[in-house]
Structure 1
Amino acid sequence: MTRFAADDGRMLAYDDRGRGTPLLCLAGLTRNMDDFEPVLDAFADRARVIRLDTRGRGGSDRDPDFMNYNLIRESRDALNLMDHLGLDRVAILGTSRGGLIAMMLAASHKDRLSGVCLNDIGPLVEPRGMAHIMSYLGLPPGYADYDDAAAQLALKMRDRFPGVGRDQWRAYARRLWDATPDGLALRYDPALRHAVMEQSATDALPDLWPLFDALDGLPLALIRGAHSDILSPETASEMQRRRPDMIFAEIPDRGHPPFLDEPAAVAAIATLLERIA
Protein backbone atom coordinates (compact mmCIF):
# COMPACT_ATOMS: atom_id res chain seq x y z
CA MET A 1 0.00 0.00 0.00
CA THR A 2 1.24 3.46 -1.00
CA ARG A 3 -0.16 6.92 -0.30
CA PHE A 4 -0.35 10.08 -2.38
CA ALA A 5 -1.66 13.61 -1.80
CA ALA A 6 -5.01 14.59 -3.32
CA ASP A 7 -5.31 18.16 -4.56
CA ASP A 8 -6.66 19.30 -1.18
CA GLY A 9 -3.79 17.71 0.76
CA ARG A 10 -5.60 14.61 2.05
CA MET A 11 -3.34 11.54 1.88
CA LEU A 12 -5.04 8.67 0.10
CA ALA A 13 -3.95 5.03 0.07
CA TYR A 14 -3.72 2.88 -3.04
CA ASP A 15 -2.15 -0.32 -4.32
CA ASP A 16 -0.82 -0.73 -7.86
CA ARG A 17 0.10 -4.20 -9.11
CA GLY A 18 -0.03 -6.30 -12.26
CA ARG A 19 0.45 -5.36 -15.89
CA GLY A 20 -1.84 -4.77 -18.82
CA THR A 21 -4.97 -2.66 -19.14
CA PRO A 22 -5.14 -0.24 -16.18
CA LEU A 23 -8.15 -1.28 -14.06
CA LEU A 24 -9.03 1.17 -11.28
CA CYS A 25 -11.02 -0.54 -8.54
CA LEU A 26 -13.34 1.67 -6.48
CA ALA A 27 -15.05 0.18 -3.45
CA GLY A 28 -18.47 0.67 -1.88
CA LEU A 29 -19.56 3.26 0.68
CA THR A 30 -17.96 1.69 3.76
CA ARG A 31 -15.50 -0.60 2.05
CA ASN A 32 -11.85 -0.45 1.03
CA MET A 33 -9.33 -1.83 -1.43
CA ASP A 34 -9.20 -5.24 0.25
CA ASP A 35 -12.57 -6.08 -1.33
CA PHE A 36 -10.70 -6.43 -4.62
CA GLU A 37 -8.20 -9.07 -3.45
CA PRO A 38 -10.00 -11.68 -5.61
CA VAL A 39 -9.70 -9.36 -8.63
CA LEU A 40 -5.98 -8.95 -8.03
CA ASP A 41 -5.58 -12.73 -7.75
CA ALA A 42 -7.52 -13.37 -10.96
CA PHE A 43 -6.27 -10.55 -13.18
CA ALA A 44 -2.79 -9.36 -12.17
CA ASP A 45 -1.33 -11.35 -15.09
CA ARG A 46 -3.43 -9.44 -17.65
CA ALA A 47 -4.38 -6.12 -16.04
CA ARG A 48 -2.74 -3.41 -14.02
CA VAL A 49 -4.97 -3.64 -10.96
CA ILE A 50 -5.06 -0.31 -9.13
CA ARG A 51 -7.04 -0.31 -5.88
CA LEU A 52 -7.95 2.94 -4.14
CA ASP A 53 -9.06 3.55 -0.57
CA THR A 54 -11.50 6.43 -0.98
CA ARG A 55 -10.97 9.26 1.54
CA GLY A 56 -12.05 8.30 5.02
CA ARG A 57 -11.79 4.57 4.30
CA GLY A 58 -9.06 2.02 4.94
CA GLY A 59 -5.59 3.56 4.92
CA SER A 60 -6.70 6.96 3.58
CA ASP A 61 -6.96 10.10 5.68
CA ARG A 62 -10.25 10.96 7.29
CA ASP A 63 -11.59 14.31 6.19
CA PRO A 64 -12.18 16.89 8.95
CA ASP A 65 -15.21 18.09 6.94
CA PHE A 66 -17.51 15.09 6.58
CA MET A 67 -19.43 16.87 3.81
CA ASN A 68 -16.41 16.12 1.59
CA TYR A 69 -17.59 12.53 1.60
CA ASN A 70 -19.54 13.09 -1.60
CA LEU A 71 -19.46 11.73 -5.14
CA ILE A 72 -18.01 14.88 -6.69
CA ARG A 73 -15.04 15.03 -4.31
CA GLU A 74 -14.49 11.28 -4.51
CA SER A 75 -14.58 11.42 -8.31
CA ARG A 76 -11.90 14.11 -8.17
CA ASP A 77 -9.83 11.87 -5.89
CA ALA A 78 -9.94 9.13 -8.54
CA LEU A 79 -8.77 11.61 -11.17
CA ASN A 80 -6.03 12.81 -8.81
CA LEU A 81 -4.77 9.23 -8.51
CA MET A 82 -4.78 8.80 -12.30
CA ASP A 83 -2.79 12.00 -12.66
CA HIS A 84 -0.40 10.91 -9.92
CA LEU A 85 0.23 7.65 -11.81
CA GLY A 86 0.49 9.40 -15.17
CA LEU A 87 -2.47 7.52 -16.65
CA ASP A 88 -4.53 9.18 -19.37
CA ARG A 89 -7.26 6.53 -19.29
CA VAL A 90 -8.37 3.65 -17.09
CA ALA A 91 -11.14 1.10 -16.95
CA ILE A 92 -13.11 1.32 -13.72
CA LEU A 93 -14.45 -1.59 -11.72
CA GLY A 94 -16.84 0.08 -9.32
CA THR A 95 -18.71 -1.68 -6.53
CA SER A 96 -21.86 0.13 -5.38
CA ARG A 97 -20.72 3.70 -4.60
CA GLY A 98 -17.61 3.06 -6.69
CA GLY A 99 -19.91 2.43 -9.65
CA LEU A 100 -21.69 5.73 -9.01
CA ILE A 101 -18.29 7.43 -9.14
CA ALA A 102 -17.63 5.71 -12.48
CA MET A 103 -20.90 7.08 -13.86
CA MET A 104 -20.06 10.56 -12.55
CA LEU A 105 -16.73 10.39 -14.36
CA ALA A 106 -18.43 9.23 -17.57
CA ALA A 107 -20.54 12.40 -17.45
CA SER A 108 -17.68 14.76 -16.61
CA HIS A 109 -14.42 13.17 -17.87
CA LYS A 110 -15.42 10.47 -20.33
CA ASP A 111 -12.15 10.86 -22.18
CA ARG A 112 -10.35 9.47 -19.13
CA LEU A 113 -12.25 6.16 -19.24
CA SER A 114 -11.60 3.11 -21.42
CA GLY A 115 -14.47 1.03 -20.00
CA VAL A 116 -16.59 0.44 -16.90
CA CYS A 117 -17.77 -2.56 -14.90
CA LEU A 118 -20.57 -1.83 -12.42
CA ASN A 119 -20.80 -4.26 -9.50
CA ASP A 120 -24.37 -4.35 -8.19
CA ILE A 121 -25.25 -0.72 -8.77
CA GLY A 122 -27.35 1.25 -11.22
CA PRO A 123 -29.04 4.62 -11.62
CA LEU A 124 -31.79 3.66 -9.13
CA VAL A 125 -30.88 2.61 -5.58
CA GLU A 126 -33.64 0.63 -3.92
CA PRO A 127 -34.97 2.31 -0.72
CA ARG A 128 -35.00 -0.95 1.24
CA GLY A 129 -31.35 -1.47 0.44
CA MET A 130 -30.51 2.06 1.56
CA ALA A 131 -32.50 1.48 4.76
CA HIS A 132 -30.43 -1.62 5.43
CA ILE A 133 -27.21 0.35 4.96
CA MET A 134 -28.42 3.04 7.37
CA SER A 135 -29.12 0.36 9.98
CA TYR A 136 -25.36 -0.16 10.44
CA LEU A 137 -23.62 2.81 8.81
CA GLY A 138 -21.17 4.47 11.22
CA LEU A 139 -22.09 2.20 14.13
CA PRO A 140 -19.70 -0.20 15.94
CA PRO A 141 -19.99 -3.66 14.39
CA GLY A 142 -20.53 -5.34 17.76
CA TYR A 143 -18.42 -8.45 17.14
CA ALA A 144 -15.80 -9.71 19.59
CA ASP A 145 -13.41 -10.99 16.90
CA TYR A 146 -13.32 -12.33 13.35
CA ASP A 147 -14.56 -15.76 14.39
CA ASP A 148 -17.52 -14.23 16.18
CA ALA A 149 -18.29 -12.09 13.13
CA ALA A 150 -18.08 -15.09 10.80
CA ALA A 151 -20.47 -17.13 12.94
CA GLN A 152 -23.02 -14.32 13.24
CA LEU A 153 -22.80 -13.25 9.59
CA ALA A 154 -23.39 -16.83 8.44
CA LEU A 155 -26.74 -16.65 10.27
CA LYS A 156 -27.70 -13.03 9.51
CA MET A 157 -26.89 -13.20 5.80
CA ARG A 158 -28.06 -16.71 4.97
CA ASP A 159 -31.12 -15.51 3.04
CA ARG A 160 -29.16 -13.16 0.76
CA PHE A 161 -25.94 -15.23 0.63
CA PRO A 162 -27.06 -18.84 0.99
CA GLY A 163 -24.30 -21.39 1.13
CA VAL A 164 -21.52 -18.97 2.12
CA GLY A 165 -19.51 -20.65 4.87
CA ARG A 166 -17.76 -19.27 7.91
CA ASP A 167 -14.32 -19.19 6.27
CA GLN A 168 -15.59 -16.86 3.56
CA TRP A 169 -17.40 -14.68 6.09
CA ARG A 170 -14.23 -14.51 8.15
CA ALA A 171 -12.35 -13.22 5.10
CA TYR A 172 -15.15 -10.69 4.55
CA ALA A 173 -14.91 -9.51 8.17
CA ARG A 174 -11.13 -9.18 7.98
CA ARG A 175 -11.46 -6.90 4.96
CA LEU A 176 -14.10 -4.70 6.53
CA TRP A 177 -13.12 -4.34 10.21
CA ASP A 178 -9.99 -4.00 12.35
CA ALA A 179 -9.35 -6.30 15.30
CA THR A 180 -8.81 -4.48 18.61
CA PRO A 181 -8.68 -5.61 22.29
CA ASP A 182 -12.22 -4.23 22.62
CA GLY A 183 -13.62 -6.09 19.62
CA LEU A 184 -13.86 -5.37 15.92
CA ALA A 185 -13.72 -1.70 14.90
CA LEU A 186 -14.70 0.23 11.79
CA ARG A 187 -12.08 0.73 9.08
CA TYR A 188 -13.78 3.90 7.92
CA ASP A 189 -14.75 7.26 9.35
CA PRO A 190 -18.05 6.91 11.25
CA ALA A 191 -18.83 10.48 10.17
CA LEU A 192 -19.85 8.92 6.84
CA ARG A 193 -23.21 8.43 8.54
CA HIS A 194 -23.60 12.18 9.04
CA ALA A 195 -22.56 12.84 5.45
CA VAL A 196 -25.17 10.47 4.02
CA MET A 197 -27.89 11.81 6.32
CA GLU A 198 -27.12 15.43 5.45
CA GLN A 199 -26.90 14.76 1.73
CA SER A 200 -30.18 12.82 1.67
CA ALA A 201 -32.11 15.24 3.89
CA THR A 202 -34.27 16.36 0.99
CA ASP A 203 -37.04 14.18 -0.42
CA ALA A 204 -35.91 15.03 -3.95
CA LEU A 205 -33.95 12.13 -5.41
CA PRO A 206 -31.58 13.00 -8.24
CA ASP A 207 -32.21 11.42 -11.63
CA LEU A 208 -29.09 9.35 -12.28
CA TRP A 209 -30.18 7.91 -15.63
CA PRO A 210 -28.34 10.68 -17.51
CA LEU A 211 -25.14 9.54 -15.76
CA PHE A 212 -25.74 5.97 -16.92
CA ASP A 213 -26.51 7.18 -20.44
CA ALA A 214 -23.18 9.05 -20.38
CA LEU A 215 -21.51 5.61 -20.53
CA ASP A 216 -22.67 5.34 -24.15
CA GLY A 217 -19.86 4.23 -26.42
CA LEU A 218 -17.72 2.80 -23.62
CA PRO A 219 -17.29 -0.96 -23.14
CA LEU A 220 -19.65 -1.73 -20.25
CA ALA A 221 -20.37 -4.64 -17.93
CA LEU A 222 -22.90 -5.11 -15.13
CA ILE A 223 -22.68 -7.67 -12.35
CA ARG A 224 -25.77 -8.17 -10.17
CA GLY A 225 -26.36 -10.27 -7.09
CA ALA A 226 -29.55 -12.28 -7.61
CA HIS A 227 -30.71 -11.34 -4.10
CA SER A 228 -29.57 -7.72 -4.25
CA ASP A 229 -31.61 -5.19 -2.28
CA ILE A 230 -29.79 -2.26 -3.96
CA LEU A 231 -30.12 -3.07 -7.68
CA SER A 232 -33.57 -4.37 -8.63
CA PRO A 233 -34.22 -6.76 -11.55
CA GLU A 234 -36.32 -4.03 -13.15
CA THR A 235 -33.49 -1.48 -13.05
CA ALA A 236 -31.03 -4.05 -14.41
CA SER A 237 -33.45 -4.85 -17.24
CA GLU A 238 -33.79 -1.17 -18.15
CA MET A 239 -30.00 -0.83 -18.15
CA GLN A 240 -29.85 -3.76 -20.56
CA ARG A 241 -32.54 -2.22 -22.74
CA ARG A 242 -30.60 1.04 -22.99
CA ARG A 243 -27.30 -0.78 -23.54
CA PRO A 244 -28.03 -4.05 -25.39
CA ASP A 245 -24.28 -4.49 -25.89
CA MET A 246 -23.66 -4.46 -22.13
CA ILE A 247 -22.01 -7.56 -20.69
CA PHE A 248 -24.34 -8.86 -17.96
CA ALA A 249 -23.85 -11.44 -15.24
CA GLU A 250 -26.38 -12.23 -12.54
CA ILE A 251 -24.72 -14.07 -9.67
CA PRO A 252 -26.86 -16.71 -7.94
CA ASP A 253 -26.82 -17.01 -4.15
CA ARG A 254 -25.44 -13.50 -3.73
CA GLY A 255 -26.94 -10.30 -2.35
CA HIS A 256 -25.37 -6.86 -2.32
CA PRO A 257 -22.68 -6.96 -3.50
CA PRO A 258 -21.17 -10.10 -5.04
CA PHE A 259 -17.67 -10.88 -3.78
CA LEU A 260 -16.16 -10.84 -7.31
CA ASP A 261 -14.61 -14.27 -6.88
CA GLU A 262 -17.64 -15.97 -8.44
CA PRO A 263 -16.91 -17.60 -11.85
CA ALA A 264 -19.59 -15.55 -13.64
CA ALA A 265 -18.26 -12.30 -12.15
CA VAL A 266 -14.70 -13.17 -13.15
CA ALA A 267 -15.89 -14.03 -16.66
CA ALA A 268 -17.72 -10.70 -17.01
CA ILE A 269 -14.64 -8.73 -15.99
CA ALA A 270 -12.47 -10.81 -18.33
CA THR A 271 -14.83 -10.16 -21.25
CA LEU A 272 -14.78 -6.41 -20.54
CA LEU A 273 -10.98 -6.37 -20.53
CA GLU A 274 -10.95 -8.29 -23.83
CA ARG A 275 -13.24 -5.70 -25.41
CA ILE A 276 -11.03 -2.88 -24.21
CA ALA A 277 -7.87 -4.55 -25.47
Structure 2
Amino acid sequence: YNVGVEAGDVLAGMSALGVEHAAFVGTSRGGLIIHVLGALKPTVLKAIVLNDIGPVIEAEGLAHIRSYLDRAPKPKTLAEAVDTQRRVHGADFPALTDVDWARMVRAICRETAAGWVPDFDPALVDTLAGIDFSKPLPGLWPQFDALAAVPLLAIRGGNSKLLSAASVEEMGRRHPGMETITVEGQGHAPFLETGTLPREIADFLDRAERESK
Protein backbone atom coordinates (compact mmCIF):
# COMPACT_ATOMS: atom_id res chain seq x y z
CA TYR A 1 0.00 0.00 0.00
CA ASN A 2 1.52 3.24 -1.23
CA VAL A 3 -0.45 6.34 -2.20
CA GLY A 4 1.88 7.07 -5.11
CA VAL A 5 1.44 3.56 -6.50
CA GLU A 6 -2.33 3.82 -6.02
CA ALA A 7 -2.43 7.12 -7.92
CA GLY A 8 -0.53 5.45 -10.73
CA ASP A 9 -3.07 2.64 -10.74
CA VAL A 10 -5.88 5.21 -11.12
CA LEU A 11 -4.12 6.80 -14.10
CA ALA A 12 -3.52 3.39 -15.68
CA GLY A 13 -7.18 2.48 -15.24
CA MET A 14 -8.33 5.76 -16.79
CA SER A 15 -6.01 5.22 -19.72
CA ALA A 16 -7.30 1.68 -20.26
CA LEU A 17 -10.88 2.97 -20.23
CA GLY A 18 -10.13 5.93 -22.49
CA VAL A 19 -11.10 8.46 -19.80
CA GLU A 20 -9.17 11.71 -20.21
CA HIS A 21 -10.50 13.53 -17.16
CA ALA A 22 -13.13 13.08 -14.47
CA ALA A 23 -14.66 14.48 -11.31
CA PHE A 24 -13.17 12.72 -8.28
CA VAL A 25 -14.70 12.10 -4.88
CA GLY A 26 -12.06 11.09 -2.35
CA THR A 27 -12.79 9.95 1.19
CA SER A 28 -9.84 9.75 3.59
CA ARG A 29 -7.08 7.83 1.75
CA GLY A 30 -8.89 8.48 -1.53
CA GLY A 31 -8.39 12.20 -0.95
CA LEU A 32 -4.66 11.68 -0.47
CA ILE A 33 -4.57 9.88 -3.82
CA ILE A 34 -6.26 12.93 -5.37
CA HIS A 35 -3.47 15.15 -4.01
CA VAL A 36 -0.91 12.91 -5.72
CA LEU A 37 -2.90 12.88 -8.96
CA GLY A 38 -2.72 16.67 -8.94
CA ALA A 39 1.06 16.42 -8.77
CA LEU A 40 1.40 13.66 -11.37
CA LYS A 41 -1.20 14.71 -13.95
CA PRO A 42 -3.43 17.64 -12.95
CA THR A 43 -5.28 17.67 -16.28
CA VAL A 44 -7.21 14.51 -15.28
CA LEU A 45 -8.96 16.41 -12.47
CA LYS A 46 -12.15 18.07 -13.67
CA ALA A 47 -13.61 18.65 -10.19
CA ILE A 48 -12.76 17.41 -6.69
CA VAL A 49 -14.73 16.49 -3.60
CA LEU A 50 -12.52 15.87 -0.56
CA ASN A 51 -14.43 14.04 2.17
CA ASP A 52 -12.84 14.76 5.57
CA ILE A 53 -9.32 14.85 4.24
CA GLY A 54 -6.85 17.57 3.38
CA PRO A 55 -3.14 18.27 3.18
CA VAL A 56 -2.76 18.02 6.98
CA ILE A 57 -3.70 14.83 8.83
CA GLU A 58 -4.12 15.18 12.56
CA ALA A 59 -2.10 12.54 14.41
CA GLU A 60 -4.92 12.02 16.92
CA GLY A 61 -7.29 10.94 14.16
CA LEU A 62 -4.81 8.55 12.59
CA ALA A 63 -4.03 7.03 15.99
CA HIS A 64 -7.76 6.50 16.53
CA ILE A 65 -8.02 4.69 13.20
CA ARG A 66 -5.07 2.44 14.06
CA SER A 67 -6.49 1.61 17.47
CA TYR A 68 -9.78 0.26 16.15
CA LEU A 69 -8.15 -1.51 13.20
CA ASP A 70 -5.76 -3.22 15.59
CA ARG A 71 -8.59 -4.39 17.83
CA ALA A 72 -11.23 -5.10 15.21
CA PRO A 73 -13.73 -7.46 16.93
CA LYS A 74 -15.58 -10.40 15.36
CA PRO A 75 -19.20 -10.24 16.52
CA LYS A 76 -21.45 -13.23 15.87
CA THR A 77 -24.59 -11.43 14.68
CA LEU A 78 -25.51 -8.30 12.76
CA ALA A 79 -27.03 -6.82 15.91
CA GLU A 80 -23.79 -7.41 17.82
CA ALA A 81 -21.79 -5.88 14.96
CA VAL A 82 -23.98 -2.77 14.98
CA ASP A 83 -23.62 -2.49 18.75
CA THR A 84 -19.84 -2.80 18.44
CA GLN A 85 -19.62 0.00 15.88
CA ARG A 86 -21.83 2.20 18.01
CA ARG A 87 -19.58 1.67 21.04
CA VAL A 88 -16.47 2.58 19.04
CA HIS A 89 -17.82 5.43 16.90
CA GLY A 90 -21.07 6.51 18.54
CA ALA A 91 -19.64 9.60 20.26
CA ASP A 92 -18.40 10.93 16.90
CA PHE A 93 -21.56 10.01 14.96
CA PRO A 94 -24.61 10.92 17.09
CA ALA A 95 -26.49 11.94 13.93
CA LEU A 96 -26.62 8.39 12.52
CA THR A 97 -29.90 6.50 12.64
CA ASP A 98 -30.43 2.78 13.25
CA VAL A 99 -30.65 2.31 9.48
CA ASP A 100 -27.38 4.20 8.99
CA TRP A 101 -25.55 2.02 11.53
CA ALA A 102 -26.80 -1.20 9.93
CA ARG A 103 -25.79 0.04 6.48
CA MET A 104 -22.37 0.98 7.83
CA VAL A 105 -21.80 -2.54 9.18
CA ARG A 106 -22.85 -4.15 5.90
CA ALA A 107 -20.47 -1.83 4.04
CA ILE A 108 -17.37 -2.48 6.14
CA CYS A 109 -17.95 -6.05 7.32
CA ARG A 110 -18.83 -9.37 5.74
CA GLU A 111 -20.75 -12.26 7.18
CA THR A 112 -18.88 -15.56 7.56
CA ALA A 113 -19.53 -18.84 9.32
CA ALA A 114 -17.57 -17.44 12.27
CA GLY A 115 -19.58 -14.21 12.41
CA TRP A 116 -19.23 -10.67 11.06
CA VAL A 117 -15.60 -9.85 10.27
CA PRO A 118 -13.97 -6.62 9.02
CA ASP A 119 -13.87 -6.59 5.23
CA PHE A 120 -10.44 -5.06 4.69
CA ASP A 121 -6.95 -6.32 4.05
CA PRO A 122 -5.17 -6.74 7.43
CA ALA A 123 -2.02 -5.46 5.74
CA LEU A 124 -3.58 -1.99 5.82
CA VAL A 125 -2.75 -1.84 9.51
CA ASP A 126 0.93 -2.30 8.63
CA THR A 127 0.94 1.05 6.81
CA LEU A 128 0.46 2.76 10.19
CA ALA A 129 3.23 0.85 11.96
CA GLY A 130 6.18 2.90 13.13
CA ILE A 131 4.40 6.27 12.98
CA ASP A 132 5.16 8.49 15.97
CA PHE A 133 1.75 9.98 16.73
CA SER A 134 3.25 12.36 19.27
CA LYS A 135 4.75 14.41 16.44
CA PRO A 136 3.03 16.36 13.61
CA LEU A 137 2.67 14.32 10.44
CA PRO A 138 4.19 15.54 7.14
CA GLY A 139 1.87 17.84 5.19
CA LEU A 140 0.86 17.94 1.53
CA TRP A 141 0.50 21.69 1.06
CA PRO A 142 2.56 21.84 -2.19
CA GLN A 143 0.33 19.11 -3.67
CA PHE A 144 -2.80 20.91 -2.47
CA ASP A 145 -1.60 24.21 -3.95
CA ALA A 146 -1.34 22.44 -7.33
CA LEU A 147 -5.13 21.95 -7.18
CA ALA A 148 -5.85 25.71 -7.07
CA ALA A 149 -7.36 25.82 -10.57
CA VAL A 150 -9.68 22.83 -10.04
CA PRO A 151 -13.23 23.31 -8.64
CA LEU A 152 -13.08 21.92 -5.11
CA LEU A 153 -15.63 21.00 -2.46
CA ALA A 154 -14.25 20.18 1.00
CA ILE A 155 -16.52 18.24 3.35
CA ARG A 156 -15.61 18.00 7.03
CA GLY A 157 -17.28 16.05 9.79
CA GLY A 158 -18.07 18.41 12.63
CA ASN A 159 -16.58 15.87 15.06
CA SER A 160 -13.64 14.87 12.89
CA LYS A 161 -10.37 14.07 14.62
CA LEU A 162 -8.52 13.71 11.31
CA LEU A 163 -9.23 17.02 9.55
CA SER A 164 -9.22 20.12 11.74
CA ALA A 165 -11.31 23.24 11.23
CA ALA A 166 -8.06 25.22 11.12
CA SER A 167 -6.81 23.12 8.20
CA VAL A 168 -10.06 23.71 6.30
CA GLU A 169 -9.71 27.45 6.91
CA GLU A 170 -6.16 27.42 5.53
CA MET A 171 -7.29 25.33 2.56
CA GLY A 172 -9.88 27.99 1.77
CA ARG A 173 -7.29 30.73 2.00
CA ARG A 174 -5.04 28.95 -0.48
CA HIS A 175 -7.93 27.94 -2.75
CA PRO A 176 -10.29 30.98 -2.74
CA GLY A 177 -12.87 29.22 -4.92
CA MET A 178 -13.18 26.23 -2.58
CA GLU A 179 -16.65 25.42 -1.29
CA THR A 180 -17.06 23.86 2.15
CA ILE A 181 -19.64 21.78 3.99
CA THR A 182 -19.48 20.92 7.69
CA VAL A 183 -21.53 17.85 8.58
CA GLU A 184 -22.71 18.21 12.15
CA GLY A 185 -23.12 15.06 14.22
CA GLN A 186 -20.61 13.07 12.18
CA GLY A 187 -16.88 12.45 12.51
CA HIS A 188 -14.38 10.79 10.20
CA ALA A 189 -15.59 10.37 7.64
CA PRO A 190 -19.10 11.71 6.96
CA PHE A 191 -21.46 9.28 5.25
CA LEU A 192 -21.99 10.86 1.83
CA GLU A 193 -25.38 9.20 1.35
CA THR A 194 -26.89 10.84 4.45
CA GLY A 195 -28.97 13.98 4.84
CA THR A 196 -28.64 16.60 2.11
CA LEU A 197 -25.11 15.57 1.08
CA PRO A 198 -26.10 13.72 -2.14
CA ARG A 199 -27.95 16.78 -3.42
CA GLU A 200 -25.22 19.21 -2.34
CA ILE A 201 -22.50 17.14 -4.00
CA ALA A 202 -24.55 16.78 -7.18
CA ASP A 203 -25.21 20.54 -7.25
CA PHE A 204 -21.50 21.25 -6.85
CA LEU A 205 -20.57 18.89 -9.68
CA ASP A 206 -23.26 20.42 -11.91
CA ARG A 207 -21.87 23.93 -11.24
CA ALA A 208 -18.33 22.74 -11.97
CA GLU A 209 -19.51 21.21 -15.24
CA ARG A 210 -21.29 24.40 -16.32
CA GLU A 211 -18.35 26.62 -15.42
CA SER A 212 -15.95 24.44 -17.41
CA LYS A 213 -17.82 25.09 -20.64
Aligned to 1:181: 113
Aligned to 1:101: 33
Aligned to 1:265: 197
Aligned to 2:82: 150
SS in 2 for 1:142: coil
Segment drifting more, 93-102 vs 161-170: 161-170
After superposition, what is the alpha-carbon deviation per residue over 1:113-155, rounded to whole angstroms, capped at 9, x for unaligned? Answer: 1111100001111111111111022554332222211123234
After superposition, what is the alpha-carbon deviation per residue over 1:211-242, rounded to whole angstroms, capped at 9, x for unaligned? Answer: 11110100110011000010011111111111
Distance 1:227 1:124 in 2: 16
1:116-155 correspondence to structure 2 within 5 Å: 116-137=48-69, 139-155=71-87
Distance 2:31 2:91 in 1: 25
Aligned to 2:13: 81
| Partner AA of 1:170 in structure 2 | A
Distance 1:165 1:182 in 2: 27
| Aligned-pair CA distance for 1:91 | 1.0
Identity of aligned residues (%): 38
Aligned to 1:90: 22
1:1-277 correspondence to structure 2 within 5 Å: 69-137=1-69, 139-197=71-129, 200=131, 205-277=137-209
- Structure 2 length as normaliser, TM-score? 0.90
The answer on whether the counterparts of 1:178 and 1:185 sit within 8 Å (CA) in structure 2 is: yes
- Structure 1 length as normaliser, TM-score? 0.70
SS in 1 for 2:187: coil
| Partner AA of 2:166 in structure 1 | E
Residue-pair matches, total:
208
| Partner AA of 2:62 in structure 1 | M
Distance 1:154 1:190 in 2: 22
What stretches of structure 2 of length at least 5 have no aligned partner?
A: none
Distance 1:157 1:197 in 2: 22
What stretches of structure 1 of length at least 5 have no aligned partner?
A: 1-68
Q: 1:260 to 1:194 in 2, by over 3 A?
A: same
| Partner AA of 1:276 in structure 2 | A
The answer on whether the counterparts of 1:162 and 1:254 sit within 8 Å (CA) in structure 2 is: yes
Segment drifting more, 152-161 vs 226-235: 152-161
Distance 2:117 2:173 in 1: 42
SS in 2 for 1:196: coil
RMSD of equivalent CA atoms: 1.9
Q: 1:80 to 1:223 in 2, by over 3 A?
A: same
Distance 1:204 1:126 in 2: 7
| Aligned-pair CA distance for 1:74 | 0.7
After superposition, what is the alpha-carbon deviation per residue over 1:35-59, rounded to whole angstroms, capped at 9, x for unaligned? Answer: xxxxxxxxxxxxxxxxxxxxxxxxx
| Aligned-pair CA distance for 1:193 | 1.4
The answer on whether the counterparts of 1:154 and 1:166 sit within 8 Å (CA) in structure 2 is: no
Q: 1:142 to 1:160 in 2, by over 3 A?
A: same
Aligned to 1:52: none
| Aligned-pair CA distance for 1:102 | 0.5
